[in-house]
């Protein structure tokens, strides 16, 4: 908006309440919202991390070992611990929203939200176990 707009005497001012840039600090629910939205930054960070890992593997064994050494640096580990917390938060909040976005019918009856939620958690557990097993063989 043009800040220097000259208002005439009889022109009504726009009713446009001022919202602070820090409005999300005002209530816990707002903060939870911004943390949930902020979790996307950690999704992006870890995807970049995965791309670096893929590139290292593509370049060969020495590059892979260099990546492992780099990943053990204290700053990287700290960032990844914070990322882990945010990714768990992301997963929980995303699954919570899923029953509202997904309407599944069995016959003529709508599947209750808790069933869908349970299905998401079960799939999450199964996917995690498969990845864990593939990468550690245990």
Residues that bind another protein (CB under 8 A): 19, 21, 24, 34, 37-38, 40-41, 43-44, 46-51, 53-55, 57-58, 60-61, 64-65, 68, 71-72, 76-77, 80-81, 83-84, 87-88, 90-91, 94-95, 98, 101, 120, 123-124, 127-128, 131-132, 134-138
Q: For 99-130, b where at least 16 C-beta lie within 10 A, e where not — what string?
A: beeeeeeeeeeeeeeeebeebbeeeeeeeeee
In terms of CB distance, is 78 or 112 closer to another protein?
A: 78
Query: At residue 110, what are phi and psi to the nearest 5 degrees?
Result: -80, 135
In terms of CB distance, is 115 or 124 closer to another protein?
A: 124
> For the chain, how big is the Rg over CA atoms in Å?
24
């Amino acid at each position: 908006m043009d800040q220097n707009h000259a208002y005439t005497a009889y022109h009504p001012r726009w009713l446009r309440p001022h919202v602070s840039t820090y409005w999300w600090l005002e209530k816990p629910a707002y903060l939870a919202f911004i943390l949930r939205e902020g979790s996307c930054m950690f999704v992006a960070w870890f995807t970049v991390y995965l791309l670096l890992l893929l590139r290292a593997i593509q370049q060969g064994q020495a590059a892979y070992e260099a990546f492992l050494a780099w990943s053990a640096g204290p700053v990287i580990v700290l960032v990844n611990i914070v990322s882990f917390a945010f990714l768990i938060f992301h997963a929980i909040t995303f699954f919570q929203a899923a029953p509202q976005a997904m309407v599944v019918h069995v016959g003529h009856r709508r599947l209750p939200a808790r069933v869908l939620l349970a299905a998401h958690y079960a799939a999450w557990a199964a996917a995690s176990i498969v990845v864990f097993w593939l990468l550690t063989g245990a």
